[in-house]
């Protein structure tokens, strides 16, 4: 996925750009879900970090849900970032909660605010 600088774009243009990136990498995600995920994604306003990438993948998973065929691909991509060992503590905690969700130890997909606990 391209993580291009996009904070200079109007909201609608940024959403369109990010949604098309999501669809390019995960073609089985509906355009509506790609737009929703893009709309809640943070703008990129500097050099892209692993945390920026993880955050976008998290938001895609949040929107598409576990029943979407692409969910496991997005999860695997986020797990690879987690496995790199360079995520900040917030995202390490969040990934732990996502792993608990995937392994059936929790019923609901975690919200990002839970990562602070």
Burial 61-93 (b: 16+ CB within 10 A, else e): bbbbeeebebbebbbebbbebbeeeebeeebeb
> What's the pLDDT tens digit per position in 6-36?
999 999 999 999 999 999 999 999 999 999 9
Residue 5 included in any domain: no
Q: How many domains does the chain fold into?
A: 1
DSSP code for 29 = S
Backbone angles phi, psi at 75, to 5 degrees: -60, -45
> What's the pLDDT tens digit per position in 66-101?
999 999 999 999 999 999 888 899 999 999 999 999
> 117 pLDDT exceeds 70?
no
Residue 3 included in any domain: no
Residue 111 included in any domain: yes
Contact residues for 108 (Cβ-Cβ < 8 A; gap 6+): 101
Q: Which domain holds residue 105?
A: 11-116
């Amino acid at each position: 996925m391209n993580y291009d600088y996009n904070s200079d774009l109007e909201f609608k243009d940024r959403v369109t750009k990010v949604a098309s990136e999501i669809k390019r990498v995960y073609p089985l995600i509906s355009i509506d879900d790609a737009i929703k995920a893009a709309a809640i994604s943070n703008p990129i306003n500097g050099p892209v970090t692993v945390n920026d990438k993880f955050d976008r993948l998290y938001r895609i998973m949040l929107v598409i849900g576990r029943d979407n065929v692409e969910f496991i691909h997005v999860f695997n991509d986020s797990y690879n970032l987690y496995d790199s060992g360079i995520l900040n503590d917030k995202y390490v905690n969040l990934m732990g909660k996502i792993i608990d969700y995937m392994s059936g130890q929790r019923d609901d997909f975690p919200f990002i605010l839970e990562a602070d606990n």
